[in-house]
A and B are shown apart, each in its own frame.
Chain A
Amino acid sequence: MALNRIAESFAAAVADIPDGASIMIGGFGGAGGQPTRLMLALRNHGAKNLTIIGNVAGISMTTGYGWPEGPDAPAPVDQGIFFASGQATRIICSFPVPGTTNPLSEIEKAWREGRAKVDIVPQGTLIERIRSAGAGIPAFYTPTGVGTPVAEGKESREFGGRTYLLEHALHADYALVRAQRADTHGNLQYVGTSRAFGPAMATAAKVTIAEVDEIVEPGGIDPERVGTLGAYVNRIVRREPGDPYP
């Protein structure tokens, strides 16, 4: 029983998220790897003053980025829902806005109206900050961002004649991740490119919640194919069969 990680519903899985929490959202951006049902549950839950940590954060609803098309395809959902609802006041991500401003994305709208702070982080630095948080590394040096606005206010140091920036670990209160299969102990198996930020985020948050298509008994995932250790996963929720979201 102590190892059972099953939560009874998406609503129950996010019910304890308080106002002011920091929330990592797995995947890359686009439908694959996005914990869409957990996101919608958090939107319905209503927690406010949230900091969202994502990657390609809010471009699918206006551009269709990474979402299937066709008569049966669902309307895209992205991290912009938390800005449309007024729940999020800050986002930390690498790609907050699409090239086009017509129509304006929810994140850009919130930023223009002064409702949201947007921290834009180079993607490799973002994932390494998250990885570091989960790995017990407080800070690291990277060559990325030297000579750009990203370097402003940061320590730099030369190694072997090249300049590097000091970047710090990025933790969160919660991580919402999407995998295809979980066992009841929380081990996760991913498919295709749905991994992206999920595995590192699962290690960097105090509470990790996984949205999956299928929950199997221990042994139902080949131990060679465990993509995220159950050790990092606090709650798993299974989708209804036939859910239209990828």
Chain B
Amino acid sequence: MPKLLVVDDAEFLRVRLTRMLTAEGFEVFQAENGLKAVAAYQEHHPQVVLMDITMPEMDGLAALKEIMTLDPQARVVMLTALGQESVVLEAVKSGAKDFVVKPFEHERVMKAIGKLLP
């Protein structure tokens, strides 16, 4: 069962995404900020990470950079709000493989994950 890590400080979004992805057959882990995301990545080695950008403790961009340093092959998809284009650009330069704009459309999320899984 492919493992995913969902990172978002909004509990509602974590739960909603987790339910959607669990129903699709994934094993889903959650983290509520960048610091916990880095720790969860090291512990669970997920195939794909879905990462929010604006979070307390450590934001998504910093967590992305940490994870890419730990594992240059990491596959991270940024979860972005409208109006965060400049951050998305920096995230892509830092190794993010794709981005999904909130509010999430089921098909768009699945397509982004599907492209990254072997």
Q: Do A and B come from the same complex?
A: no
| B interface residues with partner A (beta carbon < 8 Å) | none
